[in-house]
Structure 1
Amino acid sequence: MKQFDITIPASSANMGPGFDSAGLALNRFLTLHVTEQDNWEIEHHSHLLPSFTNYHDHFIYQIAKQTAQRHQKALPGCKVIVDSGIPLARGLGSSASAALAGIELANQLCGLGLTSEQKLEYGTDIEGHPDNVASALFGGIVVTATTQNNKVEYVQIPTLDLDVVVYIPNVELKTETARQLLPSNLTRKSATTASAISNLMLASLLSGNFHLAGKMMESDLFHEPYRADLIPNYHSIKQEAKKVNAYGTVISGAGPTMISFVPKGEGTMISKHMTAKLSDYEVVALKIDQNGLQINQITPV
């Protein structure tokens, strides 16, 4: 009888101008405790997870079934206990983590032997873009591009001396809603400038010039100017974080969470300061998770 755990980190996409391309994994996790049995059973052990009435309706089950069918396999029965520290519809990659959980669940139960590239492809098919999926799968900061033949290329950036602080409001924002505000086209001049800002941000991160990287993060032209009015306290959070030494503060994914990139070792101090300014938020210092999706096989006693 198989027993195993699947652990997948939260993620934050875009990093400002890295729209639908740059993402990073964060040390909050979605965890599945799986035991094979004759029938299917799913339990939620977190207040952050939505209610459901039948396992057939559960997103993770649906993705697992879809993945198994993709390989002409049938899912065996199992009990899945789901725990999560990732809030829904907050811009922290909850849907990407759940999609990867379903993919990996099928992979383990059906012995599919999926490669990392296949998991990335399947997750991108579900999500529509690879940034959250790639960072949650591989860990760290990952830069992706979908080529004209729909192949996803990616590079994982080496570990950087950065901490992050996230500001999670008690409101949801669906990605679809935030995307509707974006223009369908940019002028050549705007696109050139926006692309240059993104390139310089990544080059600055890789060279260790975090002050310039933060400046470029806050200079995005692809999405933040159009979404700013949807994000509670957008301008005040950025201004206050800058006062306490944050390099740059941007929208996490589509929002409404915001995220600051801060000097290594200063995350806790900055989060305490910002908590006092944002009493109705969950403000927390996090680390960039370097491990990505993890499987822990359990040997029954």
Structure 2
Amino acid sequence: MIKIKTPATSANLGAGFDCMGLALDIYNEIWIKPSDRLIVETDDDLPKDHTNLVVSSMFKTYKYLGQEFSGAHIKQINNIPKTSGLGSSAACVVGGVTAANVLLGNLMSRQDVLDFCAMIDGHPDNVAPAILGGITASVINGQNKVHTFRCLPNGNIKIALAIANFKLPTTKSRNILPKKYSREDLTYSLSRAVSTFAALSLGQFEKLKYIMDDKIHTPYRRPLIANYDQIVKAFEDAGALGVYISGAGPAIAAFVDQNFRPFTPPKEWRLEIRNIVSQGVIVEMNS
């Protein structure tokens, strides 16, 4: 039996909309073995047919490689909260594509897997760190090839997460965004995106508090998240280095160091402190 562990991811990192993300030490697990029919076991209410995102990602991989998918015995253990802004969908895509690739004898390289997962997910901000680990900034060229820059921050830096007990569908969070932006707003956000990756790469964490706001998605998603202003202020008062909406929300994340003082969030929220992990998806072969 094959065990696949895929990490949660926190995307955007402020102004790095749809292109930046990092991997966290929360994992979804897939246990899988060949079968002549589809059997899906889950620990929650996920679909148990071809509409399951792990299964559909496997099916797409088989088709892409010119192979017929007859079935598999799959057991899913889901530790990443769904529709929370922590990359649960990307974890399913990466897990499914990786599972199919392993069952077919690793016909795809890691770069091939990254390119294909980004095509399925629509952007590389979550799938890149889920596959490569660390903190990533990615671009996609005209041939659907993903080019990724990766760093591991120096020093004892972690991610504090305010995780909501309510859900915010990604479609709602994405549909609220405008179709057009002013040149001033784009310049504002682009300058902060490149500065954020530079600060993280160089270990200049003290600059994060000045450069992690943006005008591409945060102003529009902020009203969708209950207690947003209260939680951001609590993070800042507790010594967070930089605060941002994780992915499409509602999770709110912050870079923190040893000086951070954990706080009690409002009702319907919980606070967790997580590590940034250097390794992405993990494959273990079990007898």
- 1:119 maps onto 2:113 in alignment: yes
Q: Residue 50 of structure 2: which of 56, 78, 82 is its match? A: 56
Q: TM-score, normalised by structure 2?
A: 0.94
CA drift of 1:76 comes to 4.9
Q: Distance in 2 between matches of 1:57 and 1:96?
A: 15
Tell me if structure 1 keeps the 8 A contact 2:3–2:283: yes
Who is 1:89 aligned against? 83
Q: Distance in 2 between matches of 1:36 and 1:194?
A: 47
Distance 1:108 1:239, change over 3 A: same
Distance 1:66 1:220, change over 3 A: same
Who is 1:277 aligned against? 265
Distance 1:19 1:41, change over 3 A: same
- Mean CA deviation greater in 35-44 or 253-262: 35-44
Match for 1:18: what amino acid? G
Who is 1:223 aligned against? 217
SS in 1 for 2:29: strand
Match for 1:234: what amino acid? Y
Tell me if structure 1 keeps the 8 A contact 2:227–2:266: no
Tell me if structure 1 keeps the 8 A contact 2:46–2:52: no
Q: Distance in 2 between matches of 1:147 and 1:106?
A: 25
Match for 1:14: what amino acid? N
SS in 2 for 1:176: helix
- 1:35 maps onto 2:37 in alignment: no
Who is 1:210 aligned against? 205
Structure 2 counterparts to residues 165-204 of structure 1, below 5 A? 165-204=160-199
Q: Distance in 1 between matches of 2:235 and 2:51?
A: 41
Who is 1:71 aligned against? 65
Q: TM-score, normalised by structure 1?
A: 0.90
Who is 2:7 aligned against? 9
SS in 2 for 1:200: helix
Deviations along 1:271-297, one digit per CA (max 9) or x if unpaired, are xx2xx2324212111111211001001
Q: How many residues align?
A: 286
Tell me if structure 2 keeps the 8 A contact 1:14–1:131: yes
Who is 2:276 aligned against? 288
- Mean CA deviation greater in 157-166 or 81-90: 157-166
- Mean CA deviation greater in 152-161 or 90-99: 152-161
RMSD: 1.6
Tell me if structure 1 keeps the 8 A contact 2:40–2:75: yes
Structure 2 residue runs of 5 or longer lacking an equivalent are none
CA drift of 1:44 comes to 0.8
Percent of pairs with identical residues: 29
Who is 1:243 aligned against? 237
Who is 1:44 aligned against? 42
Q: Distance in 1 between matches of 2:163 and 2:174?
A: 19
Q: Distance in 1 between matches of 2:26 and 2:62?
A: 27
SS in 2 for 1:19: coil
SS in 1 for 2:18: strand
- 1:24 maps onto 2:19 in alignment: no
Who is 1:107 aligned against? 101
CA drift of 1:11 comes to 0.4
Q: Runs of 4 or more off by more than 3 Å in structure 1?
A: none
Match for 2:54: what amino acid? I
Distance 1:148 1:62, change over 3 A: closer
